[in-house]
Amino acid sequence: MISTSIRVCLLLSATAASPLFAEGTVSLSSLDYRLNTLWLLLAAVMIFLMHLGFATLESGLTRAKNTVNILFKNLSVLALGVLGYTMSGYSLMFQGDPLEPVTSWIGFAGWGPGAVTERVVLNGAEGYAVSGWSFLLFQGMFAATCATIVSGAVAERIKLSAFLLFSFLYVSLVYPVLGSWTWGHGWLYSKGFTDFAGSTVVHSVGGWAALSGALILGPRLGKYVNSTVKPIIGHNLPLATLGVFMLWFGWFGFNGGSVFSRGPEILSRVLFMTTLSAAAGLTTAIFLSWIVVGKPDLTIILNGALGGLVGITAGANLYELTPALWVGMISGALVVFFIPLFDKLRIDDPVGALSVHLVCGIWGTLAVGVFSEAHSLGIQLLGVLVHGAVAFGAASLIFLTLKHTSGLRVSEEEELAGLDLGEHGMEAYTGFQIFSTQ
């Protein structure tokens, strides 16, 4: 049974929509406590597998000569993200007693995760309780995901050292501050801004950083010749397709874990709406790519599915069937039209990360205000704008500092030969001659 003091906290926070900290204990013999904690741990493991999906998707959609580099980045950023988030990110995002509103734009509870092991994480609206350690693991996986989004947009030309340092700083200092505004019960939360599982907090925050990196780095050599766009084809579409399957699977943990309970009704609803939106995004991308490109394009429908997943993430707990379908269909359409639009703007994004995570993240956040009567479109737009301004500004500051100090981009010789040899001195496919005209 939950203690009387905890029950008081639950009553006081009855309108809360995101996880809360409360001092106290929950009986370790409580079945609800054990099952909820177990589900959150499983969800964190599923999000961990999303990093395998990102690694295979990005390596498949880029050239063979950069495969080692892509895999190295995606594995390393997971470790750096967890370390940075544990060191400072957690205390920047969750600063103290959540029953007291956080009115400042930034706060800090001290180095390390603090007393997380001595606390119980609660969802005041439903009375869910889980282990503090499970909550830290779950949130650490989210933080690392935000940094991984940047990897694809800056692929095939960024220095490894610069990318790793950027990722560590962004996850340690920038992402958690933005997250505190909503998930840490900060000033946006108090205004009614809603982002269930991170269309903005994770995906567009990562997307704004990806846009900054792509702009500051510039396009890959040979991508834009005079007024024409020269396609640079990924070397392994089966690997990219496997990545999307892994990401779709991991999204069940991403959105489902954000329920913070194994409650059958709400969890089933969230998982189904997640799948429905992804299916709608993929199907829309099939028909539109057939019309726009002239043939059904596999790379476009892979991103169409991901767009549907990103779009539904802000409101998967709110929608009925029809809104979820619309969110997915519009997400799929946005991907089809924004991938060539970014090329027309000469913004080189090798894997479509900007269209998926930034554009669909913005749409998914606004969709909450469009389809949910309980939420304000104006407040959702405010959240999009302030997250974008700070995320883009902070990422640009880090990237420009790196550019003018240690350097941001590899040399032309390294880029032509491939980052595998230039940065790592090894090849992913030893024994095969890799030809490149780039």
Whether the pLDDT of residue 212 is over 70: the answer is yes
Task: Give 275's pLDDT tier (boundaries 50, 70, 90).
Answer: very high
* Residue 161 in domain: yes
Question: How many Cβ atoms are within 10 Å of 219's Cβ, its own excluded?
Answer: 19
What pLDDT was estimated at residue 26? 53
* Residue 102 in domain: no
**Number of folded domains in the chain?**
1
* Residue 301 in domain: yes
pLDDT digits (tens, 9 = 90+) for 280-301: 999 999 999 999 888 899 999 9
Measured distance CA(3)–CA(210) in Å, rounded: 46
pLDDT digits (tens, 9 = 90+) for 297-341: 999 999 999 999 999 999 999 999 999 999 999 999 999 999 999
- 10 and 122 in contact (C-beta within 8 Å)? yes
What pLDDT was estimated at residue 153? 97
* Residue 116 in domain: no
What pLDDT was estimated at residue 121? 62
What pLDDT was estimated at residue 301? 97
Measured distance CA(63)–CA(66) in Å, rounded: 6
**Which of the residue ranges 210-214, 270-274, 434-438 would you say has the lowest mean pLDDT?**
434-438
Q: Round the average pLDDT of the chain to a whole number and report it.
A: 88
Measured distance CA(92)–CA(179) in Å, rounded: 9
What pLDDT was estimated at residue 118? 56
Whether the pLDDT of residue 27 is over 80: the answer is no
pLDDT digits (tens, 9 = 90+) for 149-197: 999 999 999 999 999 999 999 999 999 999 999 998 889 999 999 999 9
Amino acid at 201: V
Percent of the chain, pLDDT > 90? 75
Contacts of 14 (CB under 8 A, 6+ apart): 124, 125
Q: What is the mean pLDDT of residues 4-30?
A: 39
CATH of the domain at 51: 1.10.3430.10
C-alpha distances out from residue 381 to 193, 203, 309, 312, 384, Å = 9, 16, 20, 16, 5
Which residue blocks in 154-226 are alpha helix, DSSP H?
160-169, 175-180, 187-191, 205-217
* Burial class of 127 by CB neighbour count within 10 A (0 to 12, 13 to 18, 19+): middle
pTM of the model: 0.90
Q: What is the mean pLDDT of residues 138-150?
A: 95
* Residue 110 in domain: no
Contacts of 259 (CB under 8 A, 6+ apart): 128, 266, 267, 270, 317
* Residue 33 in domain: no
What pLDDT was estimated at residue 1? 32
What pLDDT was estimated at residue 2? 32
* Residue 69 in domain: yes
pLDDT digits (tens, 9 = 90+) for 393-410: 999 999 999 999 999 999
Range of the domain at 61: 41-97+134-409
pLDDT digits (tens, 9 = 90+) for 355-371: 999 999 999 999 999 99
Whether the pLDDT of residue 44 is over 90: the answer is yes
What pLDDT was estimated at residue 95? 75
* Residue 339 in domain: yes
What pLDDT was estimated at residue 16? 32
